[in-house]
Amino acid sequence: MNNLKKKVYLVTALLLVVLLPILYLLIIQSSQNSFDFAKAKDFFISNPNVFWLSYVLILTMTLIILSLVGSFIVTEFIFFIVIVGLAFANNQKVLARGASIYPEDIFMVREIKLLMTMIDRSELIKIVIFITVLIIVCIILFMFVRKTINFQFSRKIIYLLRGVLLLFSIFILFLFININEEGSTMNKFHKKIGIEFIDWSQVDNYRVNGFVLSFLNNSRVQTIKRPDGYSKDSVLRIVEKYKKIAEEQNKTKEELSDIDIVYVMSESFVDPSDTDLFYEKNEDPIPFTHELMQSSLSGKALVPEYGGGTANMEFEALTSFSNYFLQVIPYQSVVPKISGFPSVVSYVKAQDYIATAIHPFDGNMYKRVEVYKSMGFNQFIDQNDMSYTDKFPSGGAISDESAFNQVYDVLTKDDKDHFVHLVTMQNHQPYGAEYSDNPFEVTSDLLTDDVKERMQIYFKGINQSDNAMEQFIQKIDQLEKKTMIVFWGDHYPGQGLFSGIDDEYTELIHSTPLFIYKNFDSEYGDLGTQSLNYLTPNVLNELNVKESPFHVLLNTLNNEIKGLTRGNQLDSKGRQIDIFNETNYLALKEYEMIHYDLIAGKKYSEKSGFFKVK
């Protein structure tokens, strides 16, 4: 009887090892569409080559674990937990941002406690209950098998078989890992069977090639591709060209001094009137912001992300480099590795400014501690160092009012020149607060009642931010010191609030309010829609102060291309560029060359003083 049980177990285990990867594929693929298994099944039926290649990869990884741990039950338990966890994380990111998990996102697991605070509590409870039940079932099953079935195989044979299986599986995995290597076996094979990766649009890549292959495709990518013609001579030609222009233009400009500058990147702050065509509301949540934009230099910030990815917008605004050329999250993979990364911080510090970064959350998110150190900030004040920590709503994030109070303290503590960079946190998802006095009502046939409720909660939040900004500006207006406030929203909110229009109106849902206000000589001016890499050059132009050759290059590029993100490119008049042929834009090629030189090249530009004012 024991032999029969043993045979049944072995056959069952073998079948499950072969069949369970199909379930894993369905789980992870369904996470792309709110765990709709029917859509996942239809996707694989329509794309059999994608299915089989994905299946072999999942099976290979299962066999590697099996050969290492030697237990079928433990192997499948581990793999199932990993798949469910990855699927849940992917689903949450898709819901929040309309984008799937990338390999580099896995490094964010170090901040798992912080990330959990951003997830809807009801969803979190469901996944915890599910995993707990799964653990209990697996323990019971494992104990049952050990008690009822006595395996008497030779240890030498078992270890030999596991060793052979491990070597074979690692070999297959090695072939998969080199799928991006031009000329490799797997690279040739995936092209032969008609699978083409869409590197320029990861949204389309995951949609066309499925989660597993697209995730693999992104596992070994270059930080930035080497542009044609890169060499020391080509970089130095660019450097000398813009040095001459900067030297001539700076003759009529002043040194930056006696003006405090405050950058405010406001979490998920958008202009609700931009979507009046789709969603009706009973009143304007941000009346003061609208008033301010009519009396100061203002426009729209064209941002590269939707629903999240705050650090990517922050990178563009502070460094004037663009995510357009990068294949990674620069705060994670680029900036911390480069000491003294050129930025607005290095510019103002060269003018004897004190640079302060403020973020009312944990400073470790997106490696901000290392990033701000690389940029040269004199100090970084996160939630643990703040003097003002009132929250809005109660139990939520530190309020914008508290954050502005912290900024005001920095500006007024001495007579020195200050640059302050504030990244707010108040309006971060999830939007599940309960207000007894929320006056905002939203009407739309495009929204479910649940989404309407979240949008009304969101409107209450940005209304509070609008009030906080009004109080802050009133205090700034009372200062004798000249002060400039540079404000923009980092991205549209997630959780499906505006997902009904994100496919067709990509420019709209990637455009946030932007204004540059001064408590002196402030008057209306129209910036139009511009990507955030132009933010600092616009600030310097408004103040009529001296610029580096790099800033001159940016102004030249701004005359060619107003918006430069992967999803949207705008020409000199702010019109969508339908066919974006990069070779037609000289300044863009020069800009790309400088990107590569600093990030992955020999840094000829930095050594030649390209980022400094002379």
Q: For 241-263, what is each residue's pLDDT tens digit?
A: 999 999 999 999 999 999 999 99
State whether residue 355 is helix, strand or coil.
Answer: strand
What's the length of the chain? 614
3-state secondary structure 241-266: HHHHHHHHHHHHCECCCCEEEEEEEE
For 541-575, the DSSP string reads: HHHTB---HHHHHHHHHHTTEEEE-SS-EEETTS-
The per-residue pLDDT for 155 is 66
Residue 419 forms beta bridges with which residues?
261, 355
Task: Give the position of tokens 């009133």.
Answer: 474
pLDDT at position 121, please? 63
pLDDT in tens, 48-94: 999 999 999 999 999 999 888 877 778 888 888 888 888 888 888 88
Question: Residue 102: which pLDDT band, with cuts at 50, 70 and 90?
Answer: confident
- Give the C-alpha separation, 39 to 105, whole Å: 25
Q: What is the pLDDT of residue 218?
A: 80
| Neighbouring C-alpha atoms within 13 Å toward the C-beta of 252 | 4
Q: Give the range with max mean pLDDT: 135-139, 277-281, 413-417.
A: 413-417
pLDDT at 379 over 70: yes
Between 101 and 115, the more confident residue is 101
Side-chain half-sphere CA neighbours of 612 within 13 A? 9
Is it the case that residue 150 has pLDDT exceeding 60? no
Rounded CA separation 157/69 (Å): 15
Instruction: List residues bridging with 354 in a β-sheet.
Output: 418
Q: What is the pTM of this model?
A: 0.82
Q: Which of 305, 267, 210, 605 is nearest to 423 (CA)?
A: 267
- Mean pLDDT within 415-442: 92
Q: What percent of the chain has pLDDT over 70?
A: 92
pLDDT confidence tier of residue 114, bands split at 50, 70 and 90: low
574 pLDDT band, cuts 50/70/90, is very high
What is the structure's pLDDT at 120?
Answer: 62
**Does pLDDT of 400 surpass 70?**
yes
Is the alpha carbon torsion for 453, 454, 455, 456 positive or negative?
positive
| Sheet strands side by side (includes 525-531) | 379-382, 354-359, 418-423, 259-266, 482-489, 511-518, 297-302, 525-531
Helix (H) or strand (E) segment spanning residue 302: strand 297-302
The CATH topology of domain 232-577+584-607 is Alkaline Phosphatase, subunit A (3.40.720)
pLDDT at 151 over 80: no
Strands (E), 57-164: none
Residue 331 has pLDDT above 70, yes or no: yes
Give the pairing of strands 525-531 and 354-359. unpaired
| Tally of CB atoms within 10 A around 193 | 11
Looking at 250-254, 402-406, 412-416, 442-446, which range is the least confident one?
A: 442-446
Hey, what are 234's tokens? 């080509």
pLDDT of residue 217: 84
Q: Where are the domains of the chain?
A: 2-217, 232-577+584-607
**H or E stretch covering 177:** helix 155-177
Q: What is the mean pLDDT of the chain?
A: 89
Binning pLDDT at 50, 70 and 90, where does residue 213 land? very high
- The residue written with tokens 């040194």 in the block is 255
pLDDT at position 479, please?
96
Determine phi and psi for 300, rounding to 5 degrees: -125, 140
pLDDT over 60 at 1, yes or no: no
- pLDDT at res. 511: 97
